[in-house]
Amino acid sequence: MDCFVGASTGALKGVMFRDGTFKNMNAVNTLKPKSDEITCMCWATQDQTELLTAQMDRNLKLYDSINNTYTSLFKLNGGNGTVRGIHATNSGSIVSAVESGELRVWKNSGEMISELNAGNNLLVMVGNNATEGQYATGGNENPLKVWDVRVGQKTFTAKNVRPDNLQLRVPVWDTDIRFIPDSQNIVTTTGKCHIRIYDPRA
């Protein structure tokens, strides 16, 4: 498989680019889109043999590509709205964020370790693979923020850009975030098709 795709139907698909085909990795005949829709995914291991998925009903599942198994782990309780981001840490814990802003750290048994409030209308949460414990969040009128979950603190909040040519305020609408490798910078995309780069040190 060249990549995995999570569908709104709940299907987990393995895609092969060379021949333009895909394979369903789970049984699709029993799926219920209202509860099984995959809202976010992440690799569970550095060798990329295991994949974590979060469903619309908040269930966290693990796909093992070696043994071709797809098992439920636990439910990501707390807050409101869909799960907008998950991340597996090197120490074995799992970090999640939901739409109402609850940023939580879990043991792999499902016991919650800690919680931070990242603000309402959260649309995205990503981890920094180069820095353990560092996460970024953003959303609709919820500016880019950087967190250190190890100490439970926010370390950076982005300022909005200047007003536009008509001197109107530019809406804050971060839809995706990435930590740029080998750099301190962070790149975001917005609902207005803008790409922005931030330096938290500035």
| 139-153 pLDDT tens trace | 999 999 999 999 999
- In this structure, the strands spanning 50-55 and 38-43 are antiparallel
Residues 6+ apart with CB under 8 A from 104: 76, 78, 95, 96, 97, 112, 113, 114, 115, 116
Residue of 36, 29, 32, 64 lying closest to 48 (CA atoms): 64
Helix (H) or strand (E) holding 35: helix 33-36
Give pLDDT tens digits for 163-179.
999 999 999 999 999 99
Q: Residue 62: pLDDT above 90? A: yes
Residue 52's Cβ-side half-sphere holds a number of Cα atoms within 13 Å equal to: 25
What is the spatial distance between Cα 115 and Cα 65, in angstroms, rounded to a whole number? 31
Predicted pLDDT at 202: 80
User: With contact defined as beta carbons under 8 Å apart, do 26 and 53 qualify?
Assistant: no
Given a cut of 90, whether residue 1 has pLDDT beyond it is no
| Whether residue 56 has pLDDT greater than 90 | yes
Q: Closest Cα partner for 131 from 55, 183, 199, 175? A: 183
Predicted confidence at residue 28, as pLDDT, reads 93
Distance (Å, rounded) from C-alpha 194 to C-alpha 179? 17
Distance from C-alpha of 153 to C-alpha of 147, rounded to nearest angstrom = 6
